[in-house]
Structure 1
Amino acid sequence: MSLDTVVEDIREEAHARAEDIRSEGETRAEEIESAAEADAEEILADAEAEVEREIDQLREQRLSSAKLEAKQQRLEARRDVLGDVREAVEDELADLEGDTREELTRDLLEAASGEFDEGDDVSVYGRSDDQELLESILEDYDGYEYAGEVDCLGGVVVESDQSRVRVNNTFDSVLEDVWEDNLQAISNRLFEQ
């Protein structure tokens, strides 16, 4: 065997080995590339899913916020309407005249008088516009006298030092009690719930 043949054999073997290495490298590169593409697709899918979750969450937050705001606006509108109704009732009570006003005032004074002992000196306060009416009604009560005005829609505030009792039977206090006791029914009727 000549040196040329040995060199040729080594060269061929080196080429074959280089071809095997190149082939293995290409295979390995394809595997790496394939794995990288799979990882990239998975990362992309995860990112898209995360974006969708964030979009859904943001949508839910905005929807909840909008619902809450709408509910608050409805409640505020209802409060305004209830306030207007209450104000209208107060105006009607303040504007009562004649027999109706006298009858209600007498009833409220009579209810309050049950809290006092016979012989007590009783002071009666009322709306300034009702002074004449109250003085007229008090003529029927011994020991009762008009003592001055109180800021109210009508009715009476009655007190006695002997009994240490003060009774607020004003239209305002009666309205407050009726209003609180019937607020749900009033609201239901106004808003047909």
Structure 2
Amino acid sequence: MSLDTVVEDIRDEARARAENIRAEGEARAEEIVSAAEEDAEEILESAERDVDREIEQLREQRLSSAKLEAKQQRLEARRDVLGDVREAVETELATLEGDDREELTRSLLDAASVEFENGDDVSVYGRDDDAELIESILEDEEYADYEYSGSYDCLGGVVIESEGSRLRVNNTFDSVLEDVWEDNLREISNRLFEQ
């Protein structure tokens, strides 16, 4: 064998070996690329799931927030309407005139009078505009020990007190309205805002 043949055999063997190494390298590179692509796909799918979950959570939070805000606005509107109704009732009571006002004032005075003993000196207070009305009611014989003693800031009605009994009864339109309002607020609300 000649030296050229030996050199050529070594070259052929080196080429074959280089080709095997290159083929193995390419196969390994393809495996690495394929694994990387699979990992990238999994990472992308996981990221998409995370984003979808975050979007859903954000949507739920915003929806809950919007519902809460809407509920608060409804409650505020209801409070405003109830306030307007209460104000209208107070205006009606304050502007009540004639026989109706006298009848209500007399009823409130009679109801408060049961708390006092005969012979007690009783002071009666009422709205400035009702002074004449109260004084005329107190002219009745049953109120002989009663005296109109001045004004009281209210829509109408009376406040009665006696030093002897150390008792004070507030039977104003305001106090009666407050009691009725509190006792019937749910019913009033239900009637105004039937659902």
TM-score exceeds 0.5: yes
How far has the Cα of 1:158 moved from its partner? 0.7
Looking at structure 1, the residues matched to 172 and 7 of structure 2 have their Cα atoms a distance apart, in angstroms, of 127
**Which whole-Å CA distance do the structure 2 matches of 1:162 and 1:42 have between them?**
91
Report how far residue 36 of structure 1 moved: 0.9
Cα shift at 1:182: 0.5
Aligned to 2:182: 180
Taking the aligned partners of 1:21 and 1:163, their CA distance within structure 2 comes to 117
Alignment partner, residue 56 of structure 1 = 56
Aligned to 2:149: 147
User: What's the offset of the Cα at 1:7?
Assistant: 2.5
TM-score (ref. length: structure 1):
0.95
Q: Which runs of 5 or more residues in structure 1 are unaligned?
A: none
Q: Which residue does 1:130 correspond to in 2? A: 130
1:171 maps to a residue whose letter is F
Query: 1:26-37 maps to which residues of 2 (within 5 A)?
Result: 26-37=26-37
Given the alignment, which residue of 159, 162, 165 partners 2:164?
162
Distance 1:32 1:147 in 2: 103
Q: Give the structure 2 partner of residue 115 of structure 1.
A: 115
Question: Secondary structure at the residue paired with 1:162?
Answer: coil
Residue 96 of structure 2 corresponds to 96
- Cα distance in 2 for partners of 1:108, 1:157 equals 9
Q: Give the secondary-structure state (helix, strand or coil) at the position aligned to 1:188.
A: helix
Residues 7-46 of structure 1 correspond to what in structure 2 (within 5 A)? 7-46=7-46
Name the count of aligned residue pairs: 193
Larger mean CA deviation between 170-179 and 48-57 belongs to 48-57
| Equivalent AA in structure 1 for residue 34 of structure 2 | S
2:194 equivalent in structure 1: 192
What letter is aligned with 2:186? Q
TM-score by length of 2: 0.94
CA distance in 2, matches of 1:131, 1:174: 20
Identity of aligned residues (%): 82
1:22-53 per-residue CA deviation (whole Å, 9 max, x = no partner) reads: 11100000000001111111111122222222
Q: Quick check: 3-12 or 132-141, which moved more? A: 3-12
- Mark the runs of 5 or more structure 2 residues left unpaired by the alignment: none
